[in-house]
Amino acid sequence: MVSTAAYGSWPSPIDAALAAARDGRPDHVGFVGDDMWWTAPRPTEGGRRALVRRRPDGTEESVLPAPWNVRTRVIEYGGQPWAGAVRADGSPLLVFSHFPDQRLYAYEPDAGPGAEPRPLTPVSATGGGLRWADPVVHAGRGEVWCVLEEFTGPAPTDVRRVIAAVPLDGSAAGDRGRVRELSDGRHRFVTAPRLSPDGRQAAWIAWDHPRMPWDGTEVQLAEVTTDGTFQGARTVAGGPEESVPQVGWTADGQLLHLSDRTGWWNLYRTGEDGLPVGLCPRPEEFGGPLWTLGQRWFQPLENGLIAVLHGKGTSVLGILDPDSGELVDTAGPWTQWSPTLAVHGTRVVGVAASPRSGPEVVELDTCTGRARVVGSPHDDPVDPAYYPEPQIRTFTGPDDREIHAHVYPPHNPDRAAPGTELPPYVVWAHGGPTGHAPLVLDLEIAYFTSRGIGVAEVNYGGSTGYGREYRERLREQWGVVDVEDCAAVARALAEEGTADPDRLAVRGGSAGGWTTAASLVHSDVYACGTIIYPILDLTGWATDETHDFESQYLNSLIGPLDEVPARYRERSPIEHVEKITVPFLLLQGLDDVICPPVQAERFLARMAGRGVPHVYLPFEGEGHGFRRADTMIRALEAELALYAHTFGIERTDVPLLEFRK
């Protein structure tokens, strides 16, 4: 029987502990021989990333016990943290980055009881030390090639990045001089090299400040000599206004790359005349923003076909015939594939999710066309009747521009609201801001919708997935377009009778935290907001209060600081705290070097004594993005408590908040 109860007061089996335990996704899939490997989140183990092995017989095991944490901090957002190869005796050799010290380690998982990882790289006391990402093991050369990020001083921008070769014998574990540098250091940012099948050429991606990789990158191509050095590096694709997020090689030695030269990330090969040849020109995205190193949106197979991810606002796995341009998509329920494709023979493996299932490792047999789950299989911890039923919506914003969003109405099989009551809604602003909110099952969303609170995820102007023109709506308009688009969706939901206009909230983390704070300053739509590890002071963030990767991001999002300093003050929430009149919750990791706590602390100091109820929850041991189960539980329950307090919802299952004023 369905009982009647006010929106927001419904009981739900999806509690904060369950949502926290299911946070994160498997990632960094790869093969070592016939074995499949990937990293997996462990929220209840301090938020570490485990390394998982799946053997051909289907048995699955977590290889490295706690406290081993397979994760790199290169450009702070990290990237591919491990690689493997098969040794001459047929046994696997793994190389990985360990998060606490950022050293590369070699590990032989079949070496027998007591086998421990051994360090390959030294520790540096300078700045952030030595960091390594996107490794490729060249067992025949006795080396692992990867990106080296090396700090040269105490400032976050005192850093250099090169392609490096690390000896596998451990001789560099205490001697930085044993690391060979393969690139010349001309570029601020590089990806790891992709070696041609004959081993004679290496290709990689490079770019420099103030560009971000979705603004413009160049493909570098160099000859590889017999002694393993690079010669004659030159630009063969890309440019200052052309983004190339991935390069690779076909089995017969053709160079492939993704490029948005037409306004959409499409796949190209280099023709005999050196010019790019489109393999499947479409107004769709075959690539995405290079937020982490080593992402793989395409992978060539041995038979000449190419596994690709593509779509508009979504992502599906397809198999492309590069000669005919024919593209056949994988059948299955999955609506979002992560850019972590791996191939082995005729098999393609990736990580996929859907609105009814969380991320799982999926294998496609290209001979039969059959796709099946082979790792981290989704299981329903509660009756899926409690999951939300999303709607794909397109709203109209200022200047009649389209705004893409996913709307999750309140949904609970046991409860209904009385009479004509309208539900409260929370507008979610994703991070990035050059990012995207995927249409997948998220138990944090279900935590709210199953309690009678709706959620609207807004892919505001500036989001990826809809072409470069949509992405560049945010150019010099951050804090304007994102704020307007989120407000337009909130107003539309209220005007059409979907949401209660008096019970609207906004929330987001990182760039979404910025949009949330800016929305509370520049909009009167919301009754409260949840601000999570945000940017609050543009001038501080543009100088020395963030990491090197994004240190000049604001040149495109706001404009050069020396040219438009007034715009930095005008847009910054910290400069307009007097305009914030509604309650808010501020959540902050104390180890965050991307959006540091000093910004939150200055913001709170200016809010003190203004009479606006607010709560600040700092979390020790957390950086940019919460990973520990206890943190996520506290944060989610506090967010619900804020909405209960603001919207007048009676709940006894969340802790009371101690508001400051």
Predicted confidence at residue 409, as pLDDT, reads: 98
- In the chain, the percentage of residues whose pLDDT exceeds 70 is 100
Q: How confident is the model over 453-498, as pLDDT tens digits?
A: 999 999 999 999 999 999 999 999 999 999 999 999 999 999 999 9
Instruction: Examine residue 300 and state whether it is found in any structural domain, yes or no.
Output: no
| pLDDT grade for 188, boundaries at 50, 70 and 90 | very high
Predicted confidence at residue 410, as pLDDT, reads: 98
| pLDDT grade for 1, boundaries at 50, 70 and 90 | confident
CATH number of 266's domain: 2.120.10.30
Regarding whether 219 and 177 lie in a shared domain, the answer is: no
Q: How confident is the model over 48-94, as pLDDT tens digits?
A: 999 999 999 999 999 999 999 999 999 999 999 999 999 988 999 99
Instruction: Examine residue 211 and state whether it is found in any structural domain, yes or no.
Output: yes
Q: How confident is the model over 520-575, as pLDDT tens digits?
A: 999 999 999 999 999 999 999 999 899 999 999 999 999 999 999 999 999 999 99
Predicted confidence at residue 127, as pLDDT, reads: 83
Instruction: Examine residue 657 and state whether it is found in any structural domain, yes or no.
Output: no
Across 226-241, b (16+ Cβ under 10 Å) vs e yields: eebebeebeebbbeee
Q: How confident is the model over 616-643, as pLDDT tens digits?
A: 999 999 999 999 999 999 999 999 999 9
Mean pLDDT is lowest, of 228-237, 559-568, 650-659, for: 650-659
Predicted confidence at residue 272, as pLDDT, reads: 86
CA angle 110, 113, 116 (to 5 degrees): 75
| pLDDT grade for 243, boundaries at 50, 70 and 90 | very high
Higher pLDDT, 362 or 88: 362
pLDDT at 19 over 90: yes
Number of domains in the chain: 3
3-state secondary structure of 590: coil
Regarding whether 188 and 173 lie in a shared domain, the answer is: no
Instruction: Examine residue 245 and state whether it is found in any structural domain, yes or no.
Output: yes
pLDDT at 261 over 90: yes
Parallel, antiparallel or unpaired: strands 194-195 and 201-207: antiparallel
Regarding whether 391 and 421 lie in a shared domain, the answer is: yes
Parallel, antiparallel or unpaired: strands 528-534 and 584-589: parallel
Regarding whether 390 and 291 lie in a shared domain, the answer is: no
CATH number of 615's domain: 3.40.50.1820
Average pLDDT over residues 130-141: 95
| pLDDT grade for 113, boundaries at 50, 70 and 90 | confident
pLDDT at 125 over 90: no
Instruction: Examine residue 542 and state whether it is found in any structural domain, yes or no.
Output: yes
pTM for the whole thing? 0.96
Higher pLDDT, 111 or 527: 527
Domain boundary pick from 295, 326, 347: 295
Regarding whether 555 and 462 lie in a shared domain, the answer is: yes
Regarding whether 192 and 132 lie in a shared domain, the answer is: no
Predicted confidence at residue 568, as pLDDT, reads: 98
Q: How confident is the model over 274-326, as pLDDT tens digits?
A: 899 999 999 999 999 999 999 999 999 999 999 999 999 999 999 999 999 99
Helices (H) and strands (E) in the chain, counts: 10, 40
pLDDT at 348 over 90: yes
Q: How confident is the model over 574-604, as pLDDT tens digits?
A: 999 999 999 999 999 999 999 999 999 999 9
Regarding whether 112 and 82 lie in a shared domain, the answer is: yes
| pLDDT grade for 352, boundaries at 50, 70 and 90 | very high
pLDDT at 128 over 90: no
Regarding whether 624 and 508 lie in a shared domain, the answer is: yes
Q: How confident is the model over 384-420, as pLDDT tens digits?
A: 999 999 999 999 999 999 999 999 999 999 999 998 9
Average pLDDT of the chain, as a whole number: 96
| pLDDT grade for 232, boundaries at 50, 70 and 90 | very high
Predicted confidence at residue 405, as pLDDT, reads: 98
3-state secondary structure of 18: helix
Residues whose CB falls within 8 Å of the CB of residue 128, separated by 6 or more in sequence, listed in order? 73, 149, 151, 156, 159
Helices (H), 352-464: 443-449
Q: Which domain holds residue 564?
A: 383-647
Domain boundary pick from 244, 266, 295: 295
Instruction: Examine residue 328 and state whether it is found in any structural domain, yes or no.
Output: no
Regarding whether 203 and 105 lie in a shared domain, the answer is: no
Handedness of CA 76, 79, 85, 91 (dihedral sign): positive
Regarding whether 175 and 213 lie in a shared domain, the answer is: no
Parallel, antiparallel or unpaired: strands 118-119 and 104-107: antiparallel
pLDDT at 199 over 90: yes
Regarding whether 291 and 151 lie in a shared domain, the answer is: no
Regarding whether 149 and 221 lie in a shared domain, the answer is: no
Predicted confidence at residue 220, as pLDDT, reads: 98
Instruction: Examine residue 428 and state whether it is found in any structural domain, yes or no.
Output: yes
